[in-house]
Structure 1
Amino acid sequence: MGHHADHDAGHDGLDVRVVRTDAAYEDALAVRFAVFVEEQGVPEDMEVDEHEDDAVHFVAYLDGDPVGAARLRGTGDDAKVERVAVLPGHRGAGHGAEIMREVEGVAAARGFDRVALHAQTRAAGFYDRLGYERVGGEFEEAGIPHVEMVKPL
C-alpha cells in the first residue's frame, strides 16, 4: 500500500490499536526499543519491566508498519500512560496526539477520571497542548529529566 491509499483510520492514515496478539506486542516493543533503548540509551532491562503484563498496550501502524506505541495501566485512582513513542522519521505529523487520544479513550472507557504520566521534560510542551498540567518539579528517570503531568478525563 502506498502513502495515498484510502484509510478509515485516523485523519492522517494512522491506525492505533489496542494490542491483542503477540505479534502486535512485538511491534509495540520494536518501536519502544528503537526510541528508548537505541535512540535515548535507556537500559533494556529498564525498558521492559515488571508492569508489562498488567498494562494495556497500544501500537500505531502507518501503511502496515509500526511507527508508534504506548501503554496504559491503572495505579490506584489514576490511569498512568507510559512508554509513549513515535519513531524518529515519523514525528511532527500528529501521530503522538492521535495515540494519546486513543489511550485516553480507553482510560475513560475503563472508568478512570484522570490520566497521569511522567513526561520527558523536553516533551512537556506536547502534553501541555493536549490538556495536561504539570504537577511538582523535575526528576530523573533512566538519566532523563521528567515532570509529572495530569489531565482530567
Structure 2
Amino acid sequence: MEIKQTDQLDNIYQDAREIRRHVFVGEQGINEADEFDGTDSDAIHFVAYQGGQPVATARTTVTADGVHIQRVATEKEYRHKGYAKQLLTTILQSPMFQDTPRFYLGAQATAIGFYETLGFKQYGQPFMEVGIKHVNMEKLVTS
C-alpha cells in the first residue's frame, strides 16, 4: 500500500473526493453540498492506494486544539482489510504533526470501536450531524 498526501486541489485530492462521493454521498445519502463544504482547500488530504487504486482517504486540519481528522472513508470493496487503520496510523505518526498534543475527530457511532483500536477516547455527549449520530473522540499525544 502507498499513502500520498496533498494540500492542493490536485489529482490526489480528486481521488479523495471520489472516495468521499462514493461513501458519504452515494452510500450514506449525505447531501453533496454538506460533504463538500468549501473547506477542502484548508486541509491536508491523505489517500491510501492499493495497486494504484485509491482505496481510503482522510483529511486533516491543524487548529489551536490540535489536529482535526475528518472525512475518513474507505471504498466498500476494500473495507475490513486494514487500509484505513494504516492510513490513520500514518497520519498519527507523521513528522508534520510531531508537535501536536492532540488528535481529535467526530466519529460516526458505527465507527467508535475502530477509532478505539487506534487509542482514541470518547468525550462529551453524542450529537447528530448530517442525520447521523456522532461522538467526539480524541487521542492525546504523550512524549
Q: Which moved more, 1:71-80 or 1:101-110?
A: 101-110
* 1: CA distance, partners of 2:70 / 2:98: 17
* Cα distance per residue 1:25-67 (max 9 Å; x no partner): 1011000110000000111011111321111111111100111
1:110 positional shift:
5.2
Question: Are 1:56 and 2:44 matched, yes or no?
Answer: yes
Question: Are 1:72 and 2:68 matched, yes or no?
Answer: no
Instruction: Name 2:2's counterpart in structure 1.
Output: 15
Aligned partner letter, 1:17: K
Give RMSD over aligned pairs.
1.5
Which of 97, 108, 115 in structure 1 is aligned with 2:85?
97
Which of 94, 114, 117 in structure 1 is aligned with 2:102?
114
Q: Is the 8 A contact 1:79 1:107 kept in 2?
A: no
How much identity, in percent, do the aligned residues show?
Answer: 37
Structure 2 residue ranges without an equivalent (≥5): none
Instruction: Name 1:33's counterpart in structure 2.
Output: 21
Structure 1 residue ranges without an equivalent (≥5): 1-13
Q: Is the 8 A contact 2:12 2:47 kept in 1?
A: yes
SS at match of 2:94: helix
Aligned partner letter, 1:18: Q
SS at match of 1:92: coil
* 2: CA distance, partners of 1:94 / 1:58: 15
Which has the higher Rg, Structure 1 or Structure 2? 1
Which of 78, 88, 102 in structure 1 is aligned with 2:76?
88
TM normalised by structure 2 equals: 0.92
